[in-house]
Structure 1
Amino acid sequence: MKELKETQSNKVKNASIDRGIIIVNTGDGKGKSSSAFGTVFRAVGQGLNVAVIQFIKGSWTTGEMNIFKKFESITHIVSGAGFTWDTQDKEKDILAALKGWEVAKEICRDKDNKFQLLVLDEINLALAYKFLDIKEVVEVLANKPDSLNIILTGRNAPSEVIEIADTVTEMVMIKHAFESGIKAQKGIEF
């Protein structure tokens, strides 16, 4: 343990770059958005201002929507028409994603640093479905303010997003209750 402590202390001492990071939560397992929302509350607890833009998810009421309303330091925008298998209207889905992306671009170009954390929930799916231009998204991410941290969630993160990210976590599904016929639980899945 003494050796481990010394190794960790040296890593901490040598970490000298101070800037916001880009985090990607991807994979087919549960917990991508939940992890991002946990970081939202950690950030709020440290006095940071947070913007959450939800792509894909529709107007149905979720637990995160209800709790975000209780915090002045969280700006929450739902920019999805719903799950694509429900809407069956690609043009509507694209327009909804573009609406949220316009807000995200404004935040990423804000030189006043109003927000210190931006969560782009399910943007990876919007990119995989080609609702957004991957080149534009990568360019905006690459030019974000140094003070801004960004979390991108959703399955099928494009390789270009993974490459530009500082931290990437892949959630792997080993087992999921839905696969056994158990319906989504209020407060757990939504």
Structure 2
Amino acid sequence: MQRLGIFATVCLLALSSVYFLVSPSIKAQQEKALLAQFQALLPNEKLEVEQFKHPKKVLLNQLPVEIYPIQYNDKLIATFIKAHTDKGYNGNITLLIAIAPDNRTLIGVRVLSHQETPGLGDKIDANKSDWIESFKHQSLNSKKFLVKKDGGDFDAFTGATITPRAVVNLVGQVLKDWQEEHKSHE
């Protein structure tokens, strides 16, 4: 029994050591992947990981979000908002929403994480289909932020309405709340 305890302790120490050795590398890879998503929305800008390390965490009309204002030469070029919804078919969906300096126009949207069904709901991912591109350059004035099945302007997927509905509703709500927030500051 004593040998088993010693063996378990040695294994625990070995696992802990491996974790502490690879943890910085994992964190760096996660930051690099996140930067790639930001860069995909602003391909003509040179973005740095440092710009995304300290988001401003706020409530946007009761919705917890992370805000990343991106400036170049002291001029705002975009605001990124990271937001979550639990209304996906398989749970949480995390989006990165890029808003133009006019606070009214979407630059674009990317899905940062989801657990949607492969071949159906995962079409929200830019690597699976171009559906997410339908948000590019849209505003509340140009589109009704609902899926067509609900009377809106955005397509859903055959056999998977819940996932696009969750994404469209979240993007529309964030954009609406962002505009309302900035009307009060004008």
Task: State the TM-score, normalizing by the size of structure 1.
Answer: 0.26
Structure with the greater alpha carbon radius of gyration:
2
Instruction: Considering Cα pairs closer than 8 Å and 6+ residues apart, tell me whether 1 or 2 has the greater RCO.
Output: 1
Task: State the TM-score, normalizing by the size of structure 2.
Answer: 0.27
